[in-house]
Amino acid sequence: MDSCAARHLLLFPFPTPKLPPPAHPPLGWRRGGRAWAGAAHCANEASGGWGGIVEDDLSELLQILPRDLRDNLQKEPRKDQLLEVILDLGRRPEARFLGDSGGQYLRDSEISQKELEDAQRAVGEFGGDNRAGIEGTLHRISAIRSRKGMVVGLTCRVGRAVTGHVDMVRDLLNYKESILFLGRPGVGKTTVMREIARVLADEFQKRVVIVDTSNEIGGDGDVPHAAIGGARRMQVPEPSMQHRVMIEAVENHMPEVVIVDEIGTEAEAQACRSIAERGVMLIGTAHGERLANIIKNPTLSDLIGGVETVTLGDDEARARRSQKSILERKAPPTFPFLIEMRERHYWVTHRTERSVDMLLHGKKPLVEVRKRDNKFQVVIERWATYDGDGL
């Protein structure tokens, strides 16, 4: 069963939209005269085994590391799976790889203060969220500071532009409704945002604006990375200003789609509702792994319609066989679709309004499981046993 199977599911009883043919950019993909700067290759390892096209600019990240670490990683047979490099003052440098729970030490000697300072000089300026990047790439460098403000640790995370993830949700994009992605750190939410931005801008011909708080979606520097295609990118001076830039994007630039990563405050949740009420499609990510996390989070629950306590009359309580005080959804959800990214290729899709109502009533909602089979084709299955913890 491929992604078109969603049109037959009772979960989404809409008229079947006309799906554009799936398309991945060729290896030498260019747009507007600019090509992806890094090496583009079919990397089963980096993309989790399904052979998507990956562009990672890995050599640019390795250049900021001490020479011996750079040489060791160049020879590492699993470098296509490299997730991040940890440089902590007075500790041995460590590499972490996709699919591994632990790390691998890169040498026996500890990281010195000079090595940390050299690495800092090679990257861009750190923002208020202690994140920096390498201009023209998608890599993220995050700092750990001492009480005096001195950098004592760096997390050098590999940023990859991966095509093919959008096949998991291509049918949903045709409904022109907002989609919220949940998932633990490192599961690939930002990578999915990046490809959705490109597909909506280039294939669906939408006016797309990305609100890029830490330059993770569009990369560091004033010119955004070619991986976002024709989408426009608005940078955010300070993380606390993200909600203002979201509203500014709608008021000033007339987008049809706004993409925002890491919705985490009440102001940002309210900005999302304001944007959605203006008829603009939202694609976003939020902190949480399951729908139940958002329902129980008073800061973010407005994204799924909010929750309020309702007191029932005696007759109504008896008819429902419930207590007199119950929880109800108080408004339409900002995001009609919600996707839990359990793994890179295992997603649980909710029709938000229906799932929230059933969970609040103590029932198990109908959900879709989207995953890849042994031939790496997208398979969509309907389940009725969702409980928030597993299927």
Band (387; pLDDT cuts 50, 70, 90): low
Quickly state the pLDDT bin for 45 (edges 50, 70, 90). Answer: very low
Averaged pLDDT for residues 358-384: 87
pLDDT at 94: 96
pLDDT band at 316 (very low <50, low <70, confident <90, very high): confident
**The two structure tokens encoding residue 233:** 């990118």
Q: Hey, is 387 helix, strand or coil?
A: coil
Which of 265, 289, 333, 342 lies closest to 182, judged by CA? 289
Contact 288, 276 (CB under 8 A): no
* Tally: H helices and E strands in the chain: 10, 22
pLDDT at 9 over 70: no
Task: Report the distance separating Cα 321 and Cα 82, nearest Å.
Answer: 54
Report, as an integer, the average pLDDT of 170-194.
93
d(CA 46, CA 138): 15
Nearest-angstrom CA–CA distance, 65 and 76:
15
What pTM did the predictor assign? 0.81
Strand-strand pairing, 307-311 and 232-235: unpaired
Burial of 45 (0-12, 13-18, 19+ CB in 10 A): middle
Query: How would residue 384 be classed by pLDDT, with cut points 50, 70 and 90?
Result: low
What is the C-alpha to C-alpha distance for residues 367 and 354, in angstroms, rounded to an integer? 10
Q: What is the pLDDT of residue 32?
A: 40
Average pLDDT, the chain: 84
Q: 188 — alpha (psi -120 to 50), left (phi > 0) or beta?
A: left
Cα–Cα dist 73/106, whole Å: 8
DSSP 253: H
Confidence of residue 385 (pLDDT cuts 50, 70, 90): low
DSSP codes, 172-189: HHTTT--EEEE--TTSSH
Check residue 98 and give its pLDDT: 84
Give residue 327's pLDDT band: very low, low, confident or very high (50, 70, 90).
confident
Does residue 48 carry a pLDDT above 60? no
Which pLDDT score is estimated for 160? 86
Q: What is the dihedral of CA 80, 81, 83, 86, to 10 degrees?
A: -80
Question: What pLDDT is attached to residue 99?
Answer: 77
**pLDDT at 2 (0 to 100):** 43
- DSSP classification of residue 51: -
As a whole number of angstroms, the distance between CA 145 and CA 291 comes to 34
- Residue 83: strand pairing partners: none
Q: For residues 387 and 384, give the distance between their C-alpha atoms in angstroms, rounded to a whole number.
A: 9
Q: Is 251 helix (H, G, I), strand (E, B) or coil?
A: helix
| Whether pLDDT at 383 is above 60 | yes
pLDDT of residue 95: 96
358: amino acid identity, one letter: M
CA separation for the pair 39, 27 (Å, rounded): 9
Mean pLDDT of 196-213: 96
Per residue in 63-116, pLDDT (tens digit) is 999 999 999 999 999 998 899 999 999 999 999 998 788 889 999 999 999 999
Query: What does the DSSP 8-state code read for residue 365?
Result: P
Average pLDDT over residues 261-276: 96
Mean pLDDT over 255-264 rounds to 96
In tens, the pLDDT along 269-294 reads 999 999 999 999 999 999 899 999 99
Residue 6 has pLDDT above 50, yes or no: no
**Residue type for 238, please?**
E
pLDDT band at 338 (very low <50, low <70, confident <90, very high): very high
Model pLDDT, residue 260? 97
Count of C-beta atoms within a 10 Å radius of residue 174: 17
Type and span of the H or E element at 120: helix 113-121
Share of residues in the chain with pLDDT > 90 (%): 62
The pLDDT value recorded for residue 1 is 42
For residue 145, the Cα-to-chain-centroid distance in whole angstroms is 26
pLDDT value at 42 more than 90: no
**Residue 124 scores a pLDDT above 80:** no
- Count CA within 13 A, CB hemisphere, residue 195: 24
